[in-house]
């Protein structure tokens, strides 16, 4: 009987194999590729004999490359999840005040503590969480519209509040020391990644990603209307809350060290659905791998193209928006519902 649908699961399995091999190859390449007196690829022999190259790879490139991968995966998984539970393909991880909250927290930390690394990360995380909580509480007090509309509206309002707070902080910041730090943080980047920073976000990022990964088939169900989800035995409100918490956790964790990195969480889920179909059981693993690849490619360009670092958020926006325009102007059935 399954002969009727020979390709039902196998096509995605094949795509996942290609993507996984691609990501692993890219990880290896990224560790070797970089500026070591000029943009070049370290040869294994060079790495074997040169202690400075070894230290460069182990303490700088490896954590950064792994962080780029985790960043892309976190944003892509979070974007996929949020788009499903809010039944809207245009939702991205930063909404609900997460990104702007994190930016405000980082700006506060820079103003008060200077560039003490864990202060910036900790406050960014705290305010990202606060952004969500405030959006949620505000949504409960809006007196009209469905739950999704109320959350989106309150997310916009809370984001704008934090954005204006960041504006005030930038205005009063010392233009020579503090302001460049704030601006650079908000442009996003992985230039300051260390092993300790990477390890510090794993306790939040990994469980969040695990919840999303294992709930992925269930996300399909949660993208249905209330009546249908209920009639299929789901508890839509409770299950959406769990998925939302996981998505926000993953985003807040990675954004707290990377700064604002836009577009990954919007564009990658779209590309994944284009390749693997809308079923999140298949498209979410594809999105995870593609997110890793996308962020890694952008970060490699960011750190090697010019002698100075290009802000990562700028590159993801550039590539992301470019791809988005490309996708929108070719036939794409899944954007239909966004109109």
Partner 1 sequence: MDAIIALEDVHFAYRGASQHVFDDLDLSIPDGAFAVILGPNGTGKTTLLHLILGYRRPQHGKVYIAGTLQERYTRREMSRLAGLVPQDEAVAFDFSVLDYTLLGRAPYIGPLDMPTENDVQIAIKALETVGVAHLGMRPLASLSGGERQLVIIARALAQQPRILLLDEPTAHLDLSNRNRVLHVLRTLNQHGTTVVMTTHDPVAAAAVANFVVLMRDGKVIEAGQPEEVFTAERLSATYGVPVRVLRLEEQILAFNPLR
Q: Which two tokens stand for residue 216?
A: 């992925």
* Of residues 2-21, those binding partner 1 (CB under 8 A): 2, 4-5, 7-8
Over the window 261 to 300, marking each residue x when it contacts partner 1 by CB under 8 A and - when it does not, the resulting string is: ------------x---xxx-x-------------------
Place of tokens 């920073």: 197
217 binds partner 1 (CB under 8 A): yes
Q: Which is nearer to partner 1, 223 or 316 (CB)?
A: 223
Q: For residue 170, which of 162, 160, 178, 159 has the smallest C-alpha distance?
A: 178
DSSP string across 112-147: HHTT-HHHHHHHHHHHHHHHHHHHHHHHHH--SS-H
Q: Which two tokens stand for residue 37?
A: 């007196």
Which residues, listed in sequence order, are joined to residue 172 by a DSSP beta bridge? none
Q: How many CA atoms lie within 13 A of 291 on its CB side?
A: 35
Over the window 104 to 143, marking each residue x when it contacts partner 1 by CB under 8 A and - when it does not, the resulting string is: ----------------------------------------
* Total number of residues that touch partner 1 (CB under 8 A): 37
89 binds partner 1 (CB under 8 A): yes
* Residue 116 region by backbone torsions, left for phi larger than 0, else alpha for psi between -120 and 50, else beta: beta
Q: How far is the CB of 195 from partner 1 (least distance, A)?
A: 31
Q: Which is nearer to partner 1, 273 or 303 (CB)?
A: 273
214 binds partner 1 (CB under 8 A): yes
48 binds partner 1 (CB under 8 A): no
Q: Are 130 and 100 in contact (CB under 8 A)?
A: no
For residue 235, what is the DSSP state? -
Residues 9 and 31: their CA atoms lie apart, in Å, by 33
227 binds partner 1 (CB under 8 A): yes
For residue 310, what is the DSSP state? P
Q: Which is nearer to partner 1, 58 or 90 (CB)?
A: 90
Q: Binding residues for partner 1, per CB under 8 A?
A: 1-2, 4-5, 7-8, 84, 87-89, 214-215, 217-218, 220-221, 223-225, 227-228, 230-235, 239, 273, 277-279, 281, 333-334, 336-337
């Amino acid at each position: 009987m399954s002969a009727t649908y020979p390709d039902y699961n196998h096509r995605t399995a094949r795509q996942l194999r290609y993507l996984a091999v691609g990501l692993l190859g890219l990880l290896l390449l990224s560790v070797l590729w970089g500026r070591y007196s000029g943009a070049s690829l370290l040869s294994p022999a060079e790495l074997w004999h040169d202690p400075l190259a070894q230290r460069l790879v182990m303490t700088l490139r490896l954590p950064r490359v792994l962080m780029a991968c985790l960043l892309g995966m976190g944003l892509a998984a979070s974007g996929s999840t949020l788009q499903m539970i809010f039944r809207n393909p245009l939702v991205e991880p930063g909404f609900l005040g997460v990104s702007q909250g994190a930016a405000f927290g980082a700006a506060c930390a820079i103003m008060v503590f200077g560039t003490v690394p864990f202060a910036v990360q900790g406050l960014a995380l705290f305010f990202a969480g606060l952004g969500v909580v405030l959006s949620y509480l505000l949504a409960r007090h809006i007196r009209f519209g469905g739950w999704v509309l109320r959350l989106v509206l309150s997310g916009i309002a809370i984001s704008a509040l934090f954005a204006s707070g960041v504006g005030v902080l930038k205005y009063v910041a010392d233009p020579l020391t503090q302001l460049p730090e704030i601006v650079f943080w908000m442009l996003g980047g992985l230039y300051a990644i260390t092993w300790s920073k990477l390890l510090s976000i794993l306790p939040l990022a990994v469980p969040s990603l695990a919840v999303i990964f294992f709930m992925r088939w269930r996300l399909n169900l949660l993208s249905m209307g209330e009546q249908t989800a209920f009639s299929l035995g789901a508890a839509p409100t409770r299950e959406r809350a769990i998925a939302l918490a996981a998505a926000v956790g993953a985003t807040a964790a990675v954004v707290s060290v990377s700064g604002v990195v836009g577009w990954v969480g919007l564009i990658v889920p779209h590309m994944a659905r284009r390749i693997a179909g809308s079923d999140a059981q298949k498209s979410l693993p594809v999105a995870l791998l593609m997110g890793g690849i996308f962020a890694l490619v952008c970060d490699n360009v960011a750190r090697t193209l010019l002698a100075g670092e290009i802000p990562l958020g700028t590159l993801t926006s550039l590539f992301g928006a470019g791809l988005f325009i490309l996708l929108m102007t070719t036939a794409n059935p899944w954007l239909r519902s966004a109109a």
